[in-house]
Amino acid sequence: MLYIIARRIFILIPMLVLLSMISFIIIQLPPGDYLSSYVLRLESQGLVVDEAEIARLEQRYGLGQPLTTQYFRWMRNFIVNGDLGRSFGSYGSSYDNKPVSDIIMERLPATMIISIVSTIVVWAIAIPIGIYSATHQYSLMDYLSIFIGFIGLAIPNFLFAIIIMWIVFAQTGHAVTGLFSLEFRHAPWSIAKIIDMLKNVWVPVLVLATAGTAGLIRVMRANLLDELNKQYVVTARAKGLSERRLLWKYPVRIAFNPIFSTIGWLLPAMVGGEALVSIILNLQTIGPVLLTAVLRQDMYLAGSIIMILSTLTLIGTLISDIALVWLDPRIRYD
């Protein structure tokens, strides 16, 4: 077991290096660079940009050098100082020249809160319903959950967010945007602020959780149905085990496997999924920053976020693989 973990971590290192390169390369794909579009923008406003200023900016962002030099400088600063570079200010002037790591740390809490609360909601709803649907196949509840599941799969997240906002706005005249009401937006954390957050957080959670719940109910139901038809279940029943113990002792445990094997993908998937929703709901999460950074070629900011998300996925996959071996003794890696 230890050997397997050591081997996997060993493979992980070159993959992480490759991933950082890919992240760096793909953000260079769009034509032009940040500086040239920045200069264009200033000129369109009728401002004159002198050569010295351009040279100074080029120096500051390290843009003049060849790509490989830029990459190695970025990586060296990251490994030695934990410095991911600075933002070019694509996302508003308050982020101009701000260290990328600070921006990510500033945005991380809201992202984590929404992701974690959504995940808990998804599990709390989907797992019991999935188990119920499988044990009561073709019952009214089963059909209902299948129906809700399909609808959840079919509505694009951003459309769902718009529809909820529209309904809330039409009914109450109150626009649910942001995680906090105005008076709490810059206040320090307190009980009142948390209560205020709970009043607003349900919209993104509802939107993100619906899609997740739909998928998970289907997985849980299908897995459990597979298990319930196996012979060991028949044997256990024939031997007089109570239905309750029969269900919980093995089939449910085994049906959990796919959930554990994808646990590592939750955070990156949530950040990917919430990006659009956050733009519509005006949430202070990582998603909208990533989108504008990508569009405006704020390369250190975009590259760092993509690299961190991808790294999390790789590490998450490793963790869930290990968890799977630990959880299900039948699974062996060799």
Sites of contact with other proteins (CB under 8 A): 11, 15, 18-19, 22-23, 26-27, 29-31, 150-151, 153-156, 158-159, 162-163, 165-166, 169-170, 175, 268-269, 271-273, 275-276, 279-280, 290-291, 294-295, 302, 305-306, 309-311, 313-314, 317
Q: Which is nearer to other proteins, 70 or 313 (CB)?
A: 313
Minimum gap (Å) between residue 214 Cβ and other proteins: 10
Separation between Cα atoms, residue 302 and residue 296, nearest integer Å = 9
Q: Which is nearer to other proteins, 252 or 283 (CB)?
A: 283
Q: Report DSSP state, residue 262.
A: T
Tell me if 63 sits within 8 A of 73, measured CB to CB.
no
Tell me if 149 sits within 8 A of 132, measured CB to CB.
no
Q: Which is nearer to other proteins, 14 or 82 (CB)?
A: 14
Tell me the two tokens of residue 50: 């002198």
- Look at residue 86 and give its three-state secondary structure: strand
Q: Which is nearer to other proteins, 175 or 187 (CB)?
A: 175
Minimum gap (Å) between residue 290 Cβ and other proteins: 6
Tell me if 208 sits within 8 A of 150, measured CB to CB.
no
CA angle 62, 68, 72 (to 5 degrees): 70
Query: If you search the block for the tokens 């009401």, which residue do you land on?
Result: 181
CA atoms in the 13 A half-sphere facing the CB of 192: 8
Minimum gap (Å) between residue 245 Cβ and other proteins: 28
Q: Is 201 exposed, middle or buried (0-12, 13-18, 19+ CB in 10 A)?
A: buried
Q: Which amino acid type is present at position 277?
A: V
Separation between Cα atoms, residue 292 and residue 90, nearest integer Å = 6
Region for residue 82 given its phi and psi (left: phi exceeds 0; alpha: psi -120 to 50; beta: otherwise): left
Q: Report DSSP state, residue 99.
A: B
Closest CA to 276 of 293, 290, 262, 266: 290
Tell me the two tokens of residue 333: 């890696």
Minimum gap (Å) between residue 15 Cβ and other proteins: 6
Q: Is 284 exposed, middle or buried (0-12, 13-18, 19+ CB in 10 A)?
A: middle
Q: Which is nearer to other proteins, 99 or 272 (CB)?
A: 272
Q: Which is nearer to other proteins, 151 or 198 (CB)?
A: 151
Q: Which is nearer to other proteins, 42 or 163 (CB)?
A: 163
Minimum gap (Å) between residue 146 Cβ and other proteins: 9
Separation between Cα atoms, residue 223 and residue 245, nearest integer Å = 18
Minimum gap (Å) between residue 320 Cβ and other proteins: 13
Q: Which is nearer to other proteins, 25 or 192 (CB)?
A: 25
Minimum gap (Å) between residue 125 Cβ and other proteins: 20
Minimum gap (Å) between residue 208 Cβ and other proteins: 13
Minimum gap (Å) between residue 100 Cβ and other proteins: 15
Q: Which is nearer to other proteins, 70 or 157 (CB)?
A: 157
